[in-house]
Amino acid sequence: MLYWIPANQNIKNFNKHSAVDLIRFASNGVSRTELAEQMGLTRAALTMIVTDLLENGVILEAESRAIPNGRPPVVLEINPKGGLVAAVDMGATHLNIALADFSAKIIGEKYLPLDIKQGPQSCLAEVNRGLRELLAEHNINLSQLMAVGVGVPGPVITDAGMVVSPPIMPGWDSFPIRDNLQKEWGCSISLNNDAELGALGEWAYGAGRGEQNLAFIKVGSGIGAGLIINQQIYGGTTGSAGEIGHITVDENGPLCTCGNHGCLEAFAGGNAIALQAKKMVASGKRTLLSSIPTENLTAQEVGKAARRGDLPSQEIIMRAGTFIGIAIAGLVNLFNPGAVIIGGGVALSGDLLTTSIRQAVRERSLRAPKQGVHITTAMLGRRSSLMGATVQAVNIAIHDLIEKKHPVYRDILAPEK
């Protein structure tokens, strides 16, 4: 569940929040009776809770489900038209913005270039412009947005709504990102790390559905991990959990941008892969990559060549996979997650990487955790983080609705007549 309550918070509407989350993430819909069993309440109690949620427009009754005997249960579902949210996924070089309904279905999407190094003022202005354009394209007013989930490629302190000592976001340190956007858009904002959101997205609607604990490995130009523990994002004590990219995999390895030697990222990140390819081409080795101008030689091109059967490119990818596998084996030994999901630009370019990762993990992990853990590719492709941001936004919107912090915007999306 997303809505856990620690002992130091009040438990007002706790069961309403639980119920709506169970409904949201149920794979085949769920009835009042099933909810009652799962929540340890009586059916009578669920009748009242569900009535309230129905009146708020948060959920709706779908058609009944056929059962062998007795009265068929009424299946409850989230009401997609219960409200509208936005999701923003900022990468090092891209910006992905989406509008979504309460069922996390994306209504409109925009993919733009972005240079995170331009700093917060410039980038957030770009984000603002992008979102307003997207809203205009769909004839939606900003005031109809109930919440926005935002992802950034750096360590986030969620409570503070800012990043701290980010390695690749110069100028962003301690900039009040959330407060800034909140002021600009006038609705609740949730700020998270992009790998965290990837993990959440895959947990909610991707390859990690139903898992209690999972790790999402984002292999892009750098390498980061997002962790779901007890069905919740785990960000660590100071927001920098999941820094798998800077684990030492070889004491005597090359210098990394972080100042240490032999970091995973220096072996297997997109930048490292491109660098290796360039060196290979320069050495005069016979490869498909020779035809590509050096300045365009990216990890993506290496992946493409590998899929076309270029052996030297395959070797580079597989070597990267082996190093990632070593790091994941360590993660599996420490965390014992139910699933490890490989995502990010580099990972999505083919099965070769995943295969070699899987093999490396198999060779190095202890028996018990290895038996349980599934290593798979991200189901949501390049939208893992965007979906995670959507999930966070819907979280806020729905739970605000339950707490009556929001006017009820029922059927704002093309209401039936």
Partner DNA sequence: TTATTTAATCAAGTGTTTTAACAAAGTAAA
Partner DNA sequence: TTTACTTTGTTAAAACACTTGATTAAATAA
Residue 164 interacts with DNA (CB under 7 A)?
A: no
What's the order of all strands across the beta sheet hosting 374-377? 232-234, 223-229, 214-219, 339-343, 374-377
Residue 363 interacts with a copy of itself (CB under 8 A)?
A: yes
HEC-encoded secondary structure of 134-157:
HHHHCCCCHHHEEEEEEEECCCEE
Pick from 181, 218, 194: which is nearest to 386 by CA?
Answer: 194
Residue 164 interacts with a copy of itself (CB under 8 A)?
A: yes
Residue 52 interacts with a copy of itself (CB under 8 A)?
A: no
- Amino acid residing at 193: N
| Pairing of the two strands 94-101 and 106-113 | antiparallel
Per-residue binder mask for DNA (CB under 7 A), 38-57, x = binder: --xxxxxx-xxxxx------
Residue 401 interacts with DNA (CB under 7 A)?
A: no
Residue 67 and residue 72: Cα distance in Å, rounded? Answer: 6
Decide which of a copy of itself, DNA, none touches 212; Cβ closer than 5 to 8 Å per partner kind. a copy of itself
Nearest distance from residue 306's CB to a copy of itself, in Å?
Answer: 24
Residue 59 interacts with a copy of itself (CB under 8 A)?
A: no
Nearest distance from residue 328's CB to a copy of itself, in Å?
Answer: 10
Interface region with a copy of itself, contact rule CB under 8 A, candidates 69-77, 121-129, 297-305, 330-338:
330-338
Residue 192 and residue 392: Cα distance in Å, rounded? Answer: 9
Phi, psi of 416 (to 5 degrees): -65, 150
Question: How many residues are given for the chain?
Answer: 417
Q: State which of residues 69, 139, 251, 284 lies at the interface with a copy of itself (CB under 8 A).
A: 251
Q: Toward a copy of itself, which CB reaches closer, 167 or 312?
A: 167
Residues β-bridged to residue 58 = none
Q: Which residues bind a copy of itself (CB under 8 A)?
A: 1, 3-11, 14-15, 17-18, 21-22, 38-41, 155, 164-165, 167, 211-213, 225, 227, 229-231, 234-244, 246-248, 250-251, 258, 260, 326-327, 329-331, 333-338, 363-364, 366-369, 371-373
